[in-house]
Amino acid sequence: HAVVVISFAGCGFMGIYYVGATSCILERFPRFIQDASKIYGASAGALTAAVLTLGIPLGEILASSIPSRPPFIFYDTLLKHLPEDALVRASGKLSVSLTRVSDVKNVLVSEFDSREELVQALICSCFIPFYCGVIPPRYRGVHYVDGAITDNLPGCQLKQTITFSPYAGKSDICPRASTLNLPEVRFNNVSIQVNSENLYRVTSTFFPPEPEAMAEICNNGYRDAFRFLQENSKDVDNGG
For the chain, residues with pLDDT lower than 70 are 1-3, 58-77, 180, 234-240
Q: What is the pLDDT of residue 73?
A: 47
The answer to whether residue 239 is domain-embedded is no
Q: What is the pLDDT of residue 234?
A: 53
The answer to whether residue 117 is domain-embedded is yes
What amino acid positions are annotated as catalytic residues? 43, 146
The answer to whether residue 240 is domain-embedded is no
Please list the alpha-helical segments (H only) found in 142-195. Answer: none
pLDDT (tens digit per residue) in 136-176: 999 999 999 999 999 999 999 988 899 999 999 999 999 99
- Write the CATH number for 116: 3.40.1090.10
Q: What is the pLDDT of residue 67?
A: 44
Q: What is the pLDDT of residue 72?
A: 47
Q: What is the pLDDT of residue 187?
A: 85
Q: pTM of the full predicted structure?
A: 0.91
Domains of the chain: total: 1
Q: By three-state DSSP, how is residue 46 classified?
A: helix
The answer to whether residue 171 is domain-embedded is yes
Please list the alpha-helical segments (H only) found in 29-161. Answer: 31-34, 44-54, 58-64, 75-81, 86-90, 115-125
Task: Using DSSP bridges, classify how beta strands 161-164 and 5-8 pair: parallel, antiparallel or unpaired.
Answer: parallel
- What span, in angstroms and rounded, lies between the C-alpha atoms of 231 and 102? 44
Q: What is the pLDDT of residue 9?
A: 97
Instruction: Give which of 31, 60, 25, 62 is closest to 44, Cα–Cα.
Output: 62
What's the maximum distance between 2 C-alpha atoms anywhere in the chain? 50
- What span, in angstroms and rounded, lies between the C-alpha atoms of 221 and 28? 14
- What span, in angstroms and rounded, lies between the C-alpha atoms of 220 and 1? 26
Domain containing residue 127: 4-234
